[in-house]
Copies of this chain bind each other. A is one copy, B any other.
Amino acid sequence: MMSEESIKEYLRERALKATPIRVGLLSLLSERESAIPYSEIQENLKSFDRVTLYRTLNALIDGGIVHKASTSGDETYYALCSQNCSKHCHKHEHIHFKCTACHEVSCMHIEQAIKISIPNFQIEEVSVEVKGVCDKCCK
A135 touches which of B71, B97, B121, B127 (Cβ 8 Å) = B121
- Rounded to whole angstroms, the CA-CA distance of A52 and B97 in the bound complex is 32
| Chain B residues positioned under 8 Å from A47 (CB to CB) | none
Contact A112 B116 (CB under 8 A): yes
Give the A interface residue count (CB, 8 A).
Answer: 31
Kindly identify which residue among B71, B116, B135 contacts A128, using a CB–CB cutoff of 8 Å.
Answer: B116
Bound together, the chains give a CA A131 to CA B112 distance in angstroms of 20
Does A93 touch B at the CB level, under 8 Å?
no
| Residues A130 and B122 in contact in the complex (CB < 8 Å), given A95-B116, A110-B116, A116-B112 | no
CB distance from A134 to the nearest CB of B (A): 6
A126 located at the interface, meaning its Cβ lies under 8 Å from any Cβ of chain B in the complex: yes
| A110 CB contacts on chain B under 8 angstroms | 116, 118
Assess whether B133 is in contact with A122, with CB atoms less than 8 Å apart: yes
Could you jot down 28 A-B contacts, CB within 8 Å? A68-B72, A71-B72, A72-B127, A95-B116, A97-B118, A97-B121, A100-B124, A110-B116, A114-B128, A116-B128, A116-B130, A118-B130, A119-B135, A120-B135, A121-B132, A121-B133, A121-B135, A122-B132, A123-B130, A124-B132, A124-B133, A125-B131, A125-B132, A126-B128, A126-B131, A127-B128, A127-B130, A128-B128
